[in-house]
Amino acid sequence: MKLYYAPGACSMGIHVLLEEIGKPYELEKLSLKDGEHLKSPFADVNPKSKVPTLERDDGSILTEFPAIALWLARTNPEAKLWPEDAEGQARALEAMDYVVATVHMRGFSRMFRPSAYTPNAADEDKVKARGREMFGQGLAILDKALDGKEYVVGRYSVADAALFYVEYWASNSKVPLPPNCAAHFARMQARPAVQRMMQREGLVRDGKMVGTVS
């Protein structure tokens, strides 16, 4: 398998899952800042020009965070990344979809790329402020979902890898994490798979977490 990724981007969640699974994989680093995702050769691999993108052993390409996470979990059942019961499965999908489609795409993307949401540069600060508000609201909802639990569905699953990447963004954007999310983020950082991912993506220096989407 090969993961196309950008350091500190949402692909870090899939990178964590690959480390949790423990099977051999390759990494192909892309610079979003330099627009490498928008041109060949990557744009030929994934015309959506997005990470994460997973090239499977048979050469086929799989895109979109929830789809990749689900496929990895279901094809590697020994890693126990997918809940066994229908309720847990529904809650894992619910959390992943909310993280990706709302907290990330509606909230953080306004903070990170305000020019994509307005043709008027003078309005970009307002776009950023609205994005920050939406991002914070999303984290508050996810925080409530964590009440009384160490992980999103009670035990560790693909949903936690999704939540982790927006918690990481919050930490690097000086957005306060609500208490349950803060505890979850600390719990995730203590996992060996997360630590290996952070090292491989160059997101740790002098023992401290660094970096933003690049």
138 and 170 part of one domain: yes
56 and 142 part of one domain: no
Burial code (b: 16+ CB inside 10 Å, e: under 16) for 25-39 equals: eeeebbebeeebbee
Phi, psi dihedral angles at 209 (to 5 degrees): -70, 135
Q: What is the pLDDT of residue 212?
A: 53
158 and 143 part of one domain: yes
Q: Is residue 204 part of a domain?
A: no
Q: Structural domain tally of the chain? A: 2
91 and 186 part of one domain: yes
75 and 91 part of one domain: no
Q: Is residue 207 part of a domain?
A: no
List per-residue pLDDT tens for the chain, 214 residues long.
999 999 999 999 999 999 999 999 999 999 999 999 999 999 999 999 999 999 999 999 999 999 999 999 999 999 999 999 999 999 999 999 999 999 999 999 999 999 999 999 999 999 999 999 999 999 999 999 999 999 999 999 999 999 999 999 999 999 999 999 999 999 999 999 999 999 999 998 766 777 655 4
Q: Is residue 41 part of a domain?
A: yes
- Tell whether pTM > 0.85: yes
Please say whether the beta carbons of 42 and 36 come within 8 A.
Answer: yes
54 and 111 part of one domain: no
100 and 74 part of one domain: no
59 and 120 part of one domain: no
Q: What is the pLDDT of residue 184?
A: 98
Phi, psi dihedral angles at 11 (to 5 degrees): -60, -15
Phi, psi dihedral angles at 79 (to 5 degrees): -80, -15
Cα(23)–Cα(41) distance, integer angstroms: 26
103 and 187 part of one domain: yes
Q: Is residue 213 part of a domain?
A: no
72 and 50 part of one domain: yes
Q: Is residue 174 part of a domain?
A: yes
Q: Which domain holds residue 133?
A: 86-191
Query: 125: buried, middle or exposed (CB in 10 Å: 19+, 13-18, 0-12)?
Result: exposed
Cα(59)–Cα(45) distance, integer angstroms: 10
Q: Is residue 208 part of a domain?
A: no
172 and 92 part of one domain: yes
Q: Is residue 198 part of a domain?
A: no
